[in-house]
Amino acid sequence: MKPLSPAQRRALRAKAHHLDPVVSIGNQGLTPAVLHEIDVNLLAHELVKLRVHSDDRDEREAVLERVCHALDAAPVQHLGKVLVVYRERPEERPEPAPPRRPRPPASRARRRLG
């Protein structure tokens, strides 16, 4: 994903302000299951907050970098133990409608109102 402009980043930070963290990254670190959960949430919401339960700032920065690289996302903010990540939702192509079956003609009995 191409880098975000400062104006885009500012607008995304404002949107993320009211969000709650949807994924917590604990002692196990960034496992494939955690990456999958982040990916699912990015598909659904585009903008997600993550909470990293680590006291090491460099480790949190590395987690942010790995998430963005693995999921083709852009970092928006790293504030304490909370990370904000953005990935634009891919455009959904409408699925073609299944062919319609012609309706059988209504019988004469059903057509009468009386």
Residue 47, number of CB atoms within 10 A of its CB: 19
- Domain residue spans in the chain? 6-86
Phi, psi of 85 (to 5 degrees): -130, 145
**6-86, what's its fold?**
Translation Initiation Factor IF3 (3.30.110)
At 91 the pLDDT is 78
At 113 the pLDDT is 58
Residue-wise pLDDT for 18-38, tens only, equals 999 999 999 888 999 999 999
Whole-structure pTM value: 0.76
Look-up: residue for tokens 């994903």? 1
Residue bearing the bigger pLDDT, 40 or 96? 40
50, 23 in Cβ contact below 8 A? yes
